[in-house]
Amino acid sequence: MEFNIRNIIKDDYQNVFVIWRNELGYSGSFEAMVGRIDKMMVDDNYHILVALHDGQIVGNIAAVRKIAFEFDSFLHITGLAVLKEYQNKGIGSSLIKRMEEYAVMKGIPSIILNSGVQRTTAHTFYEKNGYAKLSYCFTKRLVNDKGV
């Protein structure tokens, strides 16, 4: 299967929203997502890619460069989604590979990502792509933002 990977553009937002809603269960509004992507697009710490097949967006990946007490710099993949009918065709792995190439180009030595405990198929996918389970992610909702 042939596909192309490129940086996201504004015209892609609607298709990315549909992928996130359908494949990851995103329940926020399109407008809220647009507002967030617009903020990311003007911040050089963020990098968002889309995968296209026959001109249709079939997947996307987003990441942000961060620092921590123990790391000068790392890339945090904040989302990866591929339309169900295009999964297991190398698109997700190619998106990750391109993000890894971006990290190397920017001098970022490592990548982290979180994946829901129930997403065992995704865990296997990440492990096949060289990622190791090293920690748990804990979360606590403090305010119900209703997707805004």
Instruction: Map out the domains of the chain as residue ranges.
Output: 4-128
Mean pLDDT, all residues of the chain: 92
Strand 56-68 relative to strand 46-53, pairing: antiparallel
Alpha helices in the chain (DSSP H): 13-24, 30-41, 91-105, 120-128
Q: Read off the pLDDT of residues 8-55 as tens digits, 9 standing for 90 and up.
A: 999 999 999 999 999 988 899 999 999 999 999 999 999 999 999 999
3-state secondary structure of 92: helix
Q: Read off the pLDDT of residues 95-147 as tens digits, 9 standing for 90 and up.
A: 999 999 999 999 999 999 988 888 878 889 999 999 998 888 888 989 876 55
Question: What count of other Cβ atoms lies within 10 Å of the Cβ of residue 108?
Answer: 19
Rounded CA-CA distance 141/148 in Å is 14
Rounded CA-CA distance 18/76 in Å is 23
pTM for the structure as a whole: 0.90
Homologous superfamily of 4-128? Gcn5-related N-acetyltransferase (GNAT) (3.40.630.30)
Q: Which of 26, 25, 17 is nearest to 60 (CA)?
A: 17
